[in-house]
Amino acid sequence: MQWLYSDALGGVKLYVPEEFETEAKAILALNFSEDVDAAFEEKLEICAQCQSTNFINYTKGKKPAFIVFIFLGFPLFFCKHGRKCTDCGWFKETQ
């Protein structure tokens, strides 16, 4: 998850019992990139307004919340994290 932090600590270490060493090395040598891509393609996002599939991560209300924070010293309202259509600007809130 935190790959910069992970590399700084020397990477990920996997411990297995000695009898599983060969099997573990074989599994680690496998490439699951295509499976991961396929899993994400199945959950393709489609814009409700323009049917576009181009989305970016977006935080709604970040600027007003920041300005209020500067003047009042505390956050009066909160940002909404979600996904935004890059073609029409439609915003979908995520949990």
Q: Which of residues 3-62 bind Zn ion (CB under 5 A)?
A: 47, 49-50, 52
Which H or E run contains 83?
Answer: strand 80-85
Site string for Zn ion, 66-85 (x = CB under 5 A): -------------------x
- Looking at the DSSP bridge assignments, the partners of residue 56 are 84
Residue closer to Zn ion (CB basis): 79 or 87:
87
Residues 6+ apart with CB under 8 A from 50: 85, 87, 88, 90
Q: Which residues bind Zn ion (CB under 5 A)?
A: 47, 49-50, 52, 85, 87-88, 90
